[in-house]
Chains A and B, each alone.
Chain A
Amino acid sequence: KNQVEQSPQSLIILEGKNCTLQCNYTVSPFSNLRWYKQDTGRGPVSLTIMTFSENTKSNGRYTATLDADTKQSSLHITASQLSDSASYICVVRYVNDMRFGAGTRLTVKP
């Protein structure tokens, strides 16, 4: 069954700290994996997209990793800011469909 599991479900960190969010998937055959940031009540905004052959991709303070063998991805946020407070969603695409994770709700506190 094609599933995407994210952990933790929620996370609270202090401003300036780093954090890592996890995504495990069972989707097959894999096409690509995306990380999105979704503010409450808004549409998701793309952070990174990774294909099978890519291990790491950075977008500013966001760095995503992908291990296609173990079917795991992570999103590392460096030097967090208050504006990073949002849900971070992992989405895995396969042949003609995609699966969304439930997201990790990140709260950055001053």
Chain B
Amino acid sequence: EPEVTQTPSHQVTQMGQEVILRCVPISNHLYFYWYRQILGQKVEFLVSFYNNEISEKSEIFDDQFSVERPDGSNFTLKIRSTKLEDSAMYFCASISGTGVEQYFGPGTRLTVT
């Protein structure tokens, strides 16, 4: 069964450093999402991406964040200058063209020290 994959599974970085989280959505899917979940808290929507552009973003998704689909298969989330409060699990998700079933990746745990 096709699945969303994410790399790395765990990333440790120092405050102020740039990180890039990578996702490979399911190949025929058209809508892509990033979410984060701070430990012990609810999942929060960050951004959605369709047709090579951001379609919606939350208040969390400020200028420190950016997304890209560089090569038609990868979908990346970049945090330019990480802060301690960026420590969280980051989930990528994708939806097919019918826009019904959403599939989540296993997540990348980001730890900012």
Seen from chain A, the residues whose Cβ lies within 8 Å of a Cβ on chain B are: 34, 36, 38, 41-46, 49, 89, 91, 96-103
Contacts and interface: CB of A to CB of B under 8 A. Distances in A.
Nearest to B105: A43
12 contacts: A34-B102, A36-B104, A43-B4, A43-B104, A43-B105, A44-B104, A49-B100, A89-B42, A91-B43, A99-B45, A100-B42, A100-B43
Contact of B102 (A46, A89, A99): A46
Interface string B95-113: 0000011111111010000
Interface residues of B, number: 22
A49 B96 CA distance: 14
Contacts, number: 43
A98 B91 CA distance: 15
B89 interface: yes
B64 interface: no
Nearest to A96: B56
The B interface is mostly helix, strand or loop, or mixed, namely strand
Nearest to A101: B42
Contacts of B45: 97-100
Contacts of A36: 104
A36 B104 CA distance: 10
